[in-house]
Amino acid sequence: MDRILVCLKRAVDYNVRIRVKTDGSGVITDGVKMSVNPFDEIALEEALRIREKGETGEVVVVSIGTDACQQQLRVGLAMGADRAIHVRTDQALEPLDIARVLIRIAEAEKPGLIMLGKQAIDGDNNQTGQMLAALWERPQATFVSELTISGATATAVREVDAGLETIEFELPAVVTSDLRLNEPRYVKMPDIMKAKRKPLTTTELEELGITPQTRVTVLQTAAPPARQKGKMVADAAELVAELKRMDLA
């Protein structure tokens, strides 16, 4: 396998408390810390481990979005990726258009494996990986918690409702990572400095021949309702009585 393509999305850092705009048109991102989507970071870590085992020659990271996405690509390079591709656009793309863009990149790069997180923590769509595999007409393994490469085939343990499922599939393929796949490495300052010298190429979305479409319109964004204040009880009998009163017993 010559290379692995890893998709990185720029998202609000998971430690940040989300605030909704006063007009309900979305969430506030101005001045908010942005990071690599955690599930994508796990996918990159797994790709780097595969390369360290000698099972691929190159790890390439790709991100779609504004110029600010280059910050997350540099993080990917600092983690150990060999080079980065930035598809520049000011538009917010939906999962299907993202998959179409990644197909164009795959046609040029010819990766043996495309890896990405099972979902992004902002939209929680859980769609891009599946759509990408369908358009690419290649096998897919989603919600992967363990991955083993053996030549032209791969074995994945994936989390399903009933427990764990083990599947074997041929490469090239699409893999989406779950939280339990690994723990991403810590990026050190020397790695950040080295990342500045690694190649990062930028391609305009229009150059790929993709015209984004709006299929879903967000009508309103609202914060979840405030949690009701709890009630202290003296003993188990009072607890049972209170549950009965609430029709929860």
Looking at every residue in the chain, the average pLDDT score rounds to 93
Residue pLDDT, tens place only, 79-101:
999 999 999 999 989 999 999 99
Q: How far apart are CA 137 and CA 106, in angstroms?
A: 12
Confidence band of 162 (pLDDT split at 50, 70, 90): confident
Average pLDDT over residues 236-240: 91
Residue 249 pLDDT > 80, yes or no?
A: no
Domains of the chain: 3-245 (3.40.50.620)
What letter represents residue 64's amino acid?
A: I
Instruction: Report strand pairing: 140-150 vs 173-177.
Output: parallel
Confidence band of 123 (pLDDT split at 50, 70, 90): confident
Residue 60 pLDDT > 80, yes or no?
A: yes
Residue 202 pLDDT > 60, yes or no?
A: yes
Token pair recorded at residue 49: 């481990």
Closest by Cα among 158, 138, 139 to 148: 158
pTM over 0.85: yes
